[in-house]
């Protein structure tokens, strides 16, 4: 459990004066709950591909970097700075795993194209049975592909959001062209979100910007977790395809 604001300020003051390892470690221990919160929210999307301990390890490395590099004079709260450093470290780790092969990526895109085509034909989202028949694919392979597509799209949007966000404490780049790319990506993301339905926008907003879990979003909307996951998955698919198309 995080200490109170005054207690945390005391820890920072103590470390600023002493620069002792034990005082640095006390700060890291104080903010470990932040790592756990981020990891436990992310782990359901990646549990089939990575271990919880590996995500925790990456998150802790992000926290350590945040403590070492934080500059209070920039006027950004440490929790905000650390959140991005922790999440960024986890995303870097996941990116290096490259758990989506080229063949799987092609299969995901094939399924997503079929979903869009059938929805236009039928005037409604296709059932799994209709989708499997259209693709000449058995139910087990289809379900695995849909699960993989969800993970792939979650990873994609996490990566986009991480690239879109920078803090004064640590600017991502001083190069004008990279700053322009970041702004362009923000505009693409905004246009992509505008293309979603109201409910899809709400799920994306609650999950990524209000930091609610799938379970918590289910309570807000009054629907099951599986239904939230379906809405989330479809919204992610639309966003990725929209951003890819505009980019």
92 and 125 co-located in one domain: no
Alpha-carbon distance of 37 to 219, in angstroms, equals: 19
Q: Which residues contact 81 (CB under 8 A, 6 or more apart)?
A: 66, 70, 167, 169, 170
Task: Give 7-16 contacts, CB < 8 A, sequence gap 24+.
Answer: 8/78, 12/72, 12/78
Give 170's strand partners: 167
> What's phi and psi for 170, nearest 5 deg?
-155, 85
* Number of neighbouring beta carbons within 10 Å of residue 245: 9
Measuring CA to CA, which residue among 73, 69, 60 is closest to residue 31? 60
> What's phi and psi for 167, nearest 5 deg?
-120, 150
> Domain residues for 196?
102-246
- The predicted model scores a pTM of 0.73
pLDDT, tens only, 146-201: 888 888 888 888 887 777 765 554 544 444 444 446 677 777 788 888 888 899 99
Last residue of a domain, one of 38, 68, 97: 97
End-to-end CA distance of the chain: 43
DSSP label of 197:
-
Q: Tell me, what CATH number does 72's domain have?
A: 1.10.1740.10
Q: Is the pLDDT of residue 58 over 50?
A: yes
Q: Is the pLDDT of residue 65 over 90?
A: yes
Number of domains in the chain: 2
Last residue of a domain, one of 64, 97, 130: 97
């Amino acid at each position: 459990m995080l200490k109170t604001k005054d207690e945390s300020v005391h820890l920072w003051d103590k470390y600023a004066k002493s620069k002792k390892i034990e005082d640095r470690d006390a700060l890291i221990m104080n903010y470990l709950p932040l790592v756990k919160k981020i990891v436990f929210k992310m782990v359901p999307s990646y549990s089939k591909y990575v271990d919880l301990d590996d995500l925790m390890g990456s998150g802790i490395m992000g926290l350590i970097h945040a403590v070492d590099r934080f500059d209070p004079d920039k006027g950004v709260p440490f929790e905000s700075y650390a959140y991005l450093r922790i999440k960024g470290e986890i995303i870097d780790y996941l990116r290096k795993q490259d758990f989506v092969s080229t063949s799987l990526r092609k299969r995901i895109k094939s399924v997503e194209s079929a979903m869009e085509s059938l929805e236009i034909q039928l005037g409604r989202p296709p059932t799994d049975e209709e989708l499997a028949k259209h693709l000449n694919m058995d139910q087990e392979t289809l379900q695995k592909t849909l699960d993989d597509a969800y993970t792939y799209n979650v990873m994609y949007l996490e990566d986009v959001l991480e690239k879109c966000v920078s803090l004064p404490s640590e600017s991502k780049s001083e190069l004008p062209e990279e700053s322009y790319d970041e702004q362009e990506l923000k505009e693409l993301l905004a246009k992509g979100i505008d293309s979603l339905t109201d409910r899809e926008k709400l799920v994306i907003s609650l999950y990524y910007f209000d930091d609610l879990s799938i379970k918590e979003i289910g309570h807000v909307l009054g629907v099951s977790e599986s239904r939230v996951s379906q809405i989330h998955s479809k919204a992610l698919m639309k966003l990725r395809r929209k951003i890819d198309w505009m980019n």
